[in-house]
Chains A and B, each alone.
Chain A
Amino acid sequence: MKSVMEASALHVHFKARGSFIQEIFSNHQKKVKAVDGVNIQIGEGEIFSLVGESGSGKTTVGKALLALEHKTSGSILFNGEEIPSGTGKSSRRFRQKAQMIFQDPYQSLNPRDIVLDIVGEPLVVNNLIKTSAEKRERVIEALGWAGLRPQEEYLYRLPHELSGGQRQRVAIAAALILNPQFIVADEPVSMLDVSIRADILRLMVEMRDRLGISYLFITHDLSLAWLISDRIAIMYLGKIMEIGSSELIVGSSLHPYTQALISVMPLPRVTKNKKRLILKGETPDPIDLPVGCRFNPRCPVVQDICRRQEPELAEVTPGHQVACHFPKKLLVGAP
């Protein structure tokens, strides 16, 4: 499969600000390694999910891929070319091809703009239209793709006059209007009512099927990822723990962290004595990562080597990679 977006050895570090006194006396700047060496390839028309807890760096990866966050090192190739970082001509071309859908549709739309202006904004910003009639026409078309019909009824509404699902559809219409090749969807349904989630997800899959758009779907909900994606990567504290097709990840995961996530996935049937793998403790401080495997303080099967040496992502079966010294199935009978 031809890969549309390809990141290798991606690092994004943020300076951690200590107290004033600390900053004067400490001679090395502390860093939060939000993304600490991530490799992903997203193929044409593929829905790739990045799953992780809050603070695992999944959103930072998404923003880095769109050059919205400055990468510390590594390379990001879009259609085989390094993504531009400035605001020049090539950067504009890139922005038209790669779009983002944000988590919170209450926040991502300017409360003072009407739908026509919000959805048409990408066209205006990139000088792609000449007349307001043309803009109106394109906006109506995009609203139709996003399932807001009859479109004329929505054109002149303000964001606060729409429901959450409608707002997210407006955001999707604005992302689709430029016919992008790649979309980063950052928890696009987590702020929505459960009853509308399926509609929005279905819409995203439909756009993939019709227009061949590739998605990076960022979520903390493994069951959502399982539902819509082709491949899943599990992230923990800035690193990918396990990566593979969604059936492999959910069906035969080998990393203890993935298995803990799977064991708490809600199931629509009542199973008696369903075993759960509950992790101890909290996610460690991202400024002071544990030595060795970053999952070792919470791992149920931790060994000595895990506290000394960090495991690399290694292929166990074709297309299934795990970063663990002891990859194995822990619970028998898990879904």
Chain B
Amino acid sequence: MKETHAIRRRKAGQFMDSFRKNRMGMTGAIMLCFFLIMAVAGPLLLPYNAMDFGVADDVFAPPSREHILGQDDMGRDVLRALISGARISLSVGILSTLISMVAGTFLGIVAGYSGGKIDVLMMRFTDVFLVLPWLPLMLILAAVLGSSIWNIILVIGLTSWAGTARVVRAQTLTVKERQFIERARAIGAGNGYIMTRHILPNVFPLVFANTILVSAVAIISETTLSFLGMGDTLHPSWGMMLHYAFESGAASIGAYWFLLPPGLCVVGVVLSFTFLGYAFDEILNPKLKKR
């Protein structure tokens, strides 16, 4: 409906106004945009591909006019690897965050809304995931499931939902005590309807801010897994680049151009997600709002 859109737009406008004033958020957004453009458009701009092995002289060749970031242990262009790695790293980060968001929100709302035994059971289950050391767990899961990119996404998603579930449950507990929930029950609404139509929209801002922070963690997790050799060799991410750089002794040779770019990119992306997450949290979480 036309007017409904107008309201949505007005609310979005209010959000954008406070977002623009938030310096941390804007910094994060600009940084993230840079990486997104790099991931989406980058591969179209570069003439090299992954099979362009160089001759003996090209191995660990320092930056030159043709290869701005130098060449790697097999004489391939580092910038090309960096750009195609951006795609992998970002999509792994975002997809696994989606899994963790859906799982965490679902469990959090159902546990918080149902209460009683269901709540206790679900939260103990969440606690288990919360206290398990996630790195060894991920390593084991990746080893058992095999290191395809989909498994990595699944593994990261399955190990990172617990925090979201806790936050969502806490917020659900406060929302469900509000009177419009009772009103909904009085007009005959069922539990499923109340959870999706009334609770979800009211916890979503929090979920959103939390999700962005989770994606920062997801990207670090992916980098860690790949660096430790659990990555998908067919889809080389920044973590894989670091892994190869480390394996081939780039550090001892002094080939900084092979080590530094992927490392800085990981730091940059994680930082931008964190900035964004904190900014959203500040804008959307009424308790943190500055008056």
Contact = CB atoms under 8 A, between A and B. Distances in A.
A126 interface: yes
Interface stretch (B40-48, B163-171, B184-192, B213-221): B184-192
The dominant DSSP class at the B interface is: helix
Nearest to A106: B179
B6 interface: yes
A171 B1 CA distance: 23
Interface string A108-126: 1111101000000110011
Given A87-B190, A156-B7, A112 B202 contact: yes
Given A91-B188, A110-B198, A121-B187, A68 B182 contact: yes
Contact of B187 (A107, A114, A122, A132): A122
Describe A's contact surface by its main secondary structure.
loop
Instruction: Name, among B6, B180, B189, the residue most crowded by chain A CB atoms within 10 Å (CB to CB).
Output: B180
Contacts of B184: 110, 121, 125
B188 A155 contact: no
Contact of B4 (A99, A156, A178): A156
Contacts of A330: none
Contacts of B7: 114, 156, 158
A92 B188 contact: yes
Interface in B164-214: 178-180, 182-190, 193, 198, 201-202
Given A155-B3, A156-B3, A156-B4, A109 B186 contact: no
Contacts of A125: 184, 187-190, 193
Nearest to B188: A95
B187 A99 contact: yes
A203 to B, nearest CB: 18
Contacts of B202: 110-112
Contacts of A155: 3
B183 A102 contact: yes
A53 interface: no
A99 B180 CA distance: 13
A102 B182 contact: yes
A110 B187 contact: no
Interface string A246-279: 0000000000000000000000000000000000
Contacts of A107: 178-180
A104 interface: yes
Contacts of A142: none
Contacts, number: 62
Contacts of A68: 182, 185-186
**Chain A: number of interface residues, binned into ranges:** 20 to 34
A100 interface: yes
B189 A104 contact: no
Nearest to A161: B7
Nearest to A103: B179
A66 interface: yes
Contacts of B178: 107
A174 interface: yes
B186 A99 contact: yes
A156 B6 contact: yes
Nearest to A156: B3
Contact of B183 (A87, A100, A126, A156): A100
A256 B182 CA distance: 36
Given A102-B179, A110-B202, A132-B1, A66 B186 contact: yes
Given A110-B202, A132-B1, A96 B188 contact: yes
Interface string B1-44: 10110110000000000000000000000000000000000000
Contacts of B185: 68
A114 B189 contact: no
Interface in A81-103: 87, 91-92, 95-96, 99-100, 102
A104 B182 CA distance: 12
13 contacts: A91-B188, A95-B188, A99-B187, A100-B183, A102-B182, A104-B179, A107-B180, A110-B201, A122-B187, A125-B189, A156-B3, A156-B4, A178-B187
Interface of B: 1, 3-4, 6-7, 178-180, 182-190, 193, 198, 201-202
